């Protein structure tokens, strides 16, 4: 039963990765396998560390980590929205993410998994499994959503998808302040 909870937590934590991957895809950015592995490793390592540390840290830490992750998500959404408005179809210049961008994105997304990982540790779930499944779901959600976003980039109906996904990132960040 605990493996089911781990899988559900890992999938839930990475739903925003799906939206972010689609956002990047609609902007013409390609997430390479290496970039995706780096992002997944950040998420898996963070999930492992905070699940392991759950018995040491106090419950008030969750509130601050969640607020910090929400703030970063809002800032990334605003940045994406402003970039989309300013760049207006300069998609070819964005093709592949740099290592610096990949690491920054990996850290931002990893911060988002702190509260659920901490809670999983408090519930006595296995830290190694939590780390592995979080990394796996991060990789899969970013991979498939980026491909989907790139496929939809040329569809006229979905041209509004980039600003919409940026606004959804902002809303997710705002929502995390209240959850």
DSSP 90-147: -GGGGSB--HHHHHHHHHHHHHTTHHHHHHHHHTT--HHHHHHHHHHHHHHHHHHHHH
Q: Please state whether 124 falls in left (phi above 0), alpha (psi between -120 and 50) or beta.
A: left
Spatial CA neighbour of 109 closest among 6, 2, 36, 7: 36
Q: Which residues of 11-31 are buried (b: 16+ CB within 10 A; e: fewer)?
A: bebbebbbbbbbbbbbbbbeb
29 with 154: CB under 8 angstroms? no
pLDDT tens series, the chain, 179 aa: 578 888 888 888 888 888 888 888 877 788 889 999 999 999 999 999 988 888 566 555 556 666 666 676 677 667 766 766 665 544 444 466 778 888 888 888 888 788 888 778 877 888 999 999 999 999 999 999 988 888 877 776 666 666 776 676 677 667 766 65
Tallying the residues shown for the chain, one arrives at: 179
CA distances to 36, 68, 70, 105, 129 from 94, rounded to whole Å, are 16, 27, 25, 15, 35
Query: Using an 8 Å Cβ cutoff, are 134 and 43 in contact?
Result: yes
Joined tokens for residue 86:
């300013």
């Amino acid at each position: 039963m605990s493996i089911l909870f781990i899988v559900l937590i890992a999938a839930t934590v990475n739903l925003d990765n799906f939206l972010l991957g689609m956002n990047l895809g609609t902007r013409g950015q390609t997430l390479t396998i290496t970039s995706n592995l780096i992002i997944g490793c950040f998420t898996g390592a963070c999930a492992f560390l905070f699940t392991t540390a759950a018995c040491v840290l106090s419950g008030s830490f969750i509130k601050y980590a969640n607020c910090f992750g929400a703030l970063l998500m809002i800032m990334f959404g605003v940045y994406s929205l402003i970039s989309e408005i300013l760049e207006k179809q300069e998609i070819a210049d964005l093709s592949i993410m740099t290592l610096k961008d990949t690491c920054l994105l990996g850290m931002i997304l990893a911060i988002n998994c702190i509260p659920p990982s901490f809670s999983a540790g408090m519930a006595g779930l296995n830290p190694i499994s939590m780390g592995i499944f979080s990394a796996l779901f991060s990789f899969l959600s970013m991979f498939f959503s980026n491909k989907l976003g790139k496929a939809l980039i040329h569809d006229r109906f979905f041209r509004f998808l980039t600003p919409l996904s940026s606004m959804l990132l902002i809303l997710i960040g705002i929502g995390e302040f209240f959850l």
